[in-house]
Chain A
């Protein structure tokens, strides 16, 4: 089983739609969680951190469910510019120098006009 799993998609949605992505992680000791965005043939960039209490940034809402070991990203009122691959990223902990980030395969979102 992969340490971080995502539905690869693609998710094809019309402009204005609400879309949600889920991501599961295998290590219950994981400490912190993030969503990155990667445009086609570009480098990944941090979209938002995911806090235990859930957090919102404009049209984007991230939530964490530690009991079920999954995180989610909700995008409201989708824009064409939201089209990208969304990467779920988990800090697996481990302490010391091995504290490192594990990237999921990503979920591809295509917003249609």
Chain B
């Protein structure tokens, strides 16, 4: 089993609230990622980090922000949640992209009312 954890697993929240999705890994991986996946659709990369204090936006534009203050921790924040943010958010980490092996957390399913 991969040692990467996401909380909360499920969150239902009202419009305008600030939320933070937590992601932690204990594998010492430098590279971490956030993907967004809607039902029946492909994963879209929204943020990635190649190490502490390094964050980049992914291919899919997102109003969320991320931080990487510690190697093991890569939280994602939405300052003001909207119904359009309703989705599944998957955090992943890897040793390197060329190996193709991303270890995913179980996901955070967000519903914004």
Contact = CB atoms under 8 A, between A and B. Distances in A.
Interface of A: 4, 8, 31-34, 42-46, 49, 87, 89, 91, 97, 99-101, 103-106
A45 B104 contact: yes
B97 A99 contact: yes
Interface of B: 35, 40-43, 45, 48, 50, 56, 58-59, 90, 97-102, 104-107
Q: In terms of DSSP, what is the predominant structure of the interface of chain B?
A: loop
A100 B98 contact: no
B82 to A, nearest CB: 23
Nearest to B49: A97
A106 B59 CA distance: 18
Contact of A43 (B50, B59, B107): B107
Contact of B97 (A45, A46, A87, A101): A101
Contacts of A101: 45, 97, 100, 102
B36 to A, nearest CB: 11
A43 B56 contact: no
B98 A31 contact: yes
Nearest to A99: B97
19 contacts: A4-B42, A8-B40, A31-B98, A34-B100, A43-B104, A43-B105, A44-B104, A45-B104, A87-B42, A87-B43, A89-B100, A97-B50, A99-B98, A100-B58, A101-B45, A101-B100, A103-B35, A103-B43, A104-B42
